[in-house]
Structure formats: C-alpha cells, structure tokens
Structure 1
Amino acid sequence: MLFSGSVLAAAGLEFFLVPNHIIDGGIVGLSIMASYLTNAPLSWFVVALNLPFLYLGYKKIGKSFALSTIFSIISLSYWLSVFHPLAEVTHDLFLAAVFGGIIVGIGVGLIIRYGGSLDGTEIVAILIDRRSGFSVGEIVMLFNLFILGGSGFLLGWDKAMYSLVTYFIAFKMIDITIQGVDESKGVLIVSDQHQEIAAALMDQLGRGVTVFNGEGGFSGETKKILYSVITRLEISQLKIIVNEIDDSAFVTIQDVYDVVGGMVKKKASH
C-alpha cells in the first residue's frame, strides 16, 4: 500500500500539477518551488528537504513510522523521476488542479493509512501538537497557508489559487481514503421506548446496540441511553425508525474515525 500510494502521488504530481506550475502543500510544495527556481529534478528536493524531519520522526515518534516514511519518500522520488519525461495529461489548469488533487490525495491517504508519511511538516505538527493547544490539522494548515502564499509571489496568484483548490481537494481525498467512503457514525439515543428502538435497530439495520444507564441532569430521572455504530448511508433510515417508535427521542450523531471489533458488520438476514 505504501508503494501504491507513492506511485499514485507521483503520477498526480508529474502528469497534472508540476507541468502546470500548480503546487501541493507541505514539503512537496516547497520541493516543486525549489525545482522551478533551480531547474533541478523534483525528486532530489523531495528527499533532501525531508531528511531533517525524518530524523525527528525517528527520534520522537518511532522506528516503524520512520522506516515506513523513508520507504514512501524514496519510492515517491523514484517514480517522480520515471514519470517526469512523460507528457502531461492536460493543459487546462482547472482540470489539472482537480484531477491532480484527487490522485495525489488518494496516494497520500494510502501512505498515511498504512503508517507512513510524505510530508515532514506533519511530523513537526505532531511534535508541536504535544506542546500546544493546536491540533495537528490546524498546524499543518498554517504551514500550508504560508507555502501557498509564497507560491503566489513565485508562480503568480492565479497558480496560487489553483494550488489552493488542489490542496483542499487533496485534503478531502486523504480523509476519504483514510476513513473509507462508507463513513461510520456513532449514534446516541435517549428514549423511554429504548427496548423497542434497540430491537428495531438490530432487526432492521442489523446493527449491535449497547445500553447505558443515565440520569437526567434536571429531573434526576433514570434514563436508558442507546449507542450504536452505523454507516453514513443508514442515517436517514435510523431517523425514520426512531421517529416511528418515539418522535420525542433525543438523538445525536457523531463521526467515528475508526472501528475495531464489536458487532459493526451487518448480521446476516434471517
């Protein structure tokens, strides 16, 4: 998966972004700008600029992460050099920004999902996150705003705006690749008809249900709280089920980024 991700990321860069002077965020974006200024191969800068961060990752995060990242970066560098002589796919800047962002995002998402990284700024963000009140995503976003702003002075503001489009598309595709298209949702339901709702969820959706004991903060009454994990596509069906049984039930739905164990898969139909 690390190998496949690096091939996809290299293809998105060399076939769409680099020939049209559109950059991605992070170290890869800095590498594209450095290659543009010096006419040196992009693959050189991808490796050279990531080296200090790889050392930090090895020391502060762990050997397994560092080795996966080293493999991913070397593989990316190799495929960048392989794809570079080939012709670009499109001269249309909008198409290049969109499809380049999609392909790069899927590639980077595969690498992150299987324990590696292509971007040294993510390593710095993880280390800063441990010592600050900012999240890793917020720190990476701040780095990339500076990088994309710098590309405006170097490549022109139209290219910088297309680069911003690419960045947000890639960011979303990374999320989809890591979490999967079939996103999971955690559902909390508070209802006096908890038994009927739990039975309906297990029977109609085939989902496991956990029952918690709760207490009303104002009334002090004992309440039963149902918890279940469903897919994004089942949200509307769940709302219909709950509403038909108890239209006054209290329901909250949250994103679930990973699920391990438990009765998550649908039970076979009887």
Structure 2
Amino acid sequence: MYKSVIKNLALVLIGTYIFSIAVNSIVIPNQLGEGGVTGITLLLFYIFDISPALSNFIINAIIMLVGWRFLEKETIFYTIVAIISMSLFLEFIFLPSFIPTNSLLGPLASGFLIGLGIGIVILGHGTTAGVDIIALIINKYLGLQVSIALLILDVLIVIPLTIVIGLEKGLLTLISLYITSKILNFVMEGYNPKKAIMVVSNKHDEIAEEIMKRVDRGITVLKGYGYYSKAEKEVLYVVINRIQLIKVQRIINEIDSNAFVTVTGIQQVLGEGFTFNLDQSHNIEENEVI
C-alpha cells in the first residue's frame, strides 16, 4: 500500500512540475492562454498582474470546498497534493523562457507539456481540480453532459482571454488546447491502443484458426442471425493491438475477401491476456499488446 501511495505521489508531483514549467516558461512568455482554471489565472495575471500561483491556489481551493463530494476519497487526497504542489511550482520554479521565432512552436510545446503533465497527474489518481468539478456539478443539477459543460466553460474562459491577448494569440491558444487533449489521450490510453474486430464469414473456422496460429490471439465466437437471409451466422470477435491489425486484415482477405468486417477502437481492455496471464508461455506476445 505504501509503495502505491509513494508512486502516486511521485506521479502527481512530476505531473504538476511539468505543467508548471509549461506555464512559466512557454505560455506566459508567449502571452498565450489556456482553458480551465489556468485560463482564469492567466487572465488575472495579464490584466491585474496577480500571481498565477496565488490565484490558482485560491480558485482551486474554493472549487474543492464546493465540489469535494463529487470525488472519491483517494482522488481528493491526491488532488489536494496536486493543487498545493502546482501552486508552489508556479511560484518558485522558473526555467529559461522558450520564445520561438515561429509562433506555432509555442502552442505546440505548451500543449505537449501541459497534456503530458495533466496525464501524469491523472495516472497518479489525482486531478488538477478546476472546471472538471464544476462540470460535474452542472451535470448533476442542470442535466448537461459533462463534455458539453467542459466545452462551454472553456469557451467562456477563452473568449475574454482572446480579447486581452488578441485574436492571433487566441487562435494559437486553441491549437495548444487541441494538442493538450491529444497528448492527454495518448498518455491515458498508451502508445498502442487496442482494436476490436468482428468478422462475419462462411469461412469463420479457417479465419479463426489462422488468427490463432499467426497472431496468437484468443477469439470469441458469437452466435449471430442474418435477418435478411434468415440464416444463423458465426461471428468472430477478437481484440488486438494496432500493429496486429494489419496482419489480421491480411489473413481475412486471403481466406475470404467477401467477409463482413468491422473494426472499432477500444479505450481499455481488462482480463486474461491483457492485464493478467494464465499461460506464462504467452508473456512475450501479451506484453506487446499492453
């Protein structure tokens, strides 16, 4: 248990450190904006010269006092650590400013580091508090979807920021926010996202045999029914990684080019072959999938 706590604390501290470097060394020197509470702190800094560290701590503390009941106890603890450490890092950690001649490099760099930082904090079972909690409150009392609430809140923050920093900087801020979301998803889902394939074919036995032999993945056979043909169908279901997808598609085309195939993305896979193994002889292959 203690090892887990130390690991999570380390992740939260590393994540907030990276986040703070991005704000102090890239966002502020390039007069860019951000979404969420960070955007509000930047707005206060640009207009009134209020310390981002101070405003970040006060705003997030107020949000936590109002919305703590929407978080699990473990998340509350690590979120408090994140708020305190982020405020301290914003106040005391300064690296040389990165002000590139190419204006696009600023938002690309800040978006990358902020997404990386937030992702690491979340991996440590924490959050950066902020508008995420407000979105949960809006969802409960107004019935608005969390994603829609977050979008509205970010827009309400970015619009006044754009008035202050100018249209060009505002557009660059949108680029930074987009990069942040992509990097955050990358950190959370990993570099090798999983895919689920469903195959409907009269040669399902041959296809399943070849996939097991050449790709070494388990396959689930589902019972299907063709409403138009009024015939029972065997449907193959297999979860693989992105690298194995090409190999599986090749196998299907070789055996039955008329097979009906769907491929969908999967955010997370739990269970045998992905989070634990019953057959140790499959360790190498399954580690590749993870």
Q: What letter matches 1:214 in structure 2?
A: G
Displacement after TM superposition at 1:108 (Å): 0.6
The equivalent residue for 1:42 is: 52
Summarize the Cα distance change of 1:22–1:255 in structure 2 as closer, same or farther, 3 Å threshold.
Answer: same
Counterpart-to-counterpart distance in 2, 1:236 and 1:147: 43
CA-based RMSD: 2.0
Alignment of 1:85-234 (within 5 A): 86-92=95-101, 93-130=103-140, 134-234=144-244
The partner residue of 2:28 within 18, 34, 39 is 18
- TM, length-normalised to structure 2: 0.85
Displacement after TM superposition at 1:239 (Å): 1.2
Q: Deviations over 1:137-183 (max 9, x none)?
A: 33212211221111111111111111111000011100101101111
Contact 1:6-1:107 within 8 A present in 2 as well: yes
The equivalent residue for 1:66 is: 76
State the percentage of identical aligned residues.
Answer: 26
- How many residue pairs get aligned? The number is 268
Summarize the Cα distance change of 1:138–1:236 in structure 2 as closer, same or farther, 3 Å threshold.
Answer: farther
The equivalent residue for 1:261 is: 271
More deviation in 145-154 or 132-141? 132-141
Counterpart-to-counterpart distance in 2, 1:238 and 1:61: 41
SS in 1 for 2:76: helix
Q: What letter matches 1:242 in structure 2?
A: I
More deviation in 176-185 or 223-232? 223-232
Displacement after TM superposition at 1:26 (Å): 0.6
Contact 1:17-1:23 within 8 A present in 2 as well: yes
Question: Where do 5+ consecutive residues of structure 1 fail to align?
Answer: none
More deviation in 254-263 or 170-179? 254-263
Counterpart-to-counterpart distance in 1, 2:138 and 2:197: 32
Counterpart-to-counterpart distance in 1, 2:108 and 2:220: 42
Q: What letter matches 1:90 in structure 2?
A: I
SS in 2 for 1:229: strand
More deviation in 203-212 or 160-169? 203-212
The partner residue of 1:4 within 14, 22, 28 is 14
Q: Deviations over 1:109-162 (max 9, x none)?
A: 111233221142112223434566654333212211221111111111111111
Displacement after TM superposition at 1:34 (Å): 1.0
Summarize the Cα distance change of 1:134–1:212 in structure 2 as closer, same or farther, 3 Å threshold.
Answer: farther
Q: What letter matches 2:136 in structure 1?
A: I
Are 1:243 and 2:275 an aligned pair? no
Counterpart-to-counterpart distance in 2, 1:169 and 1:141: 15
Question: Where do 5+ consecutive residues of structure 2 fail to align?
Answer: 1-10, 276-280, 286-290
Q: What letter matches 1:249 in structure 2?
A: A
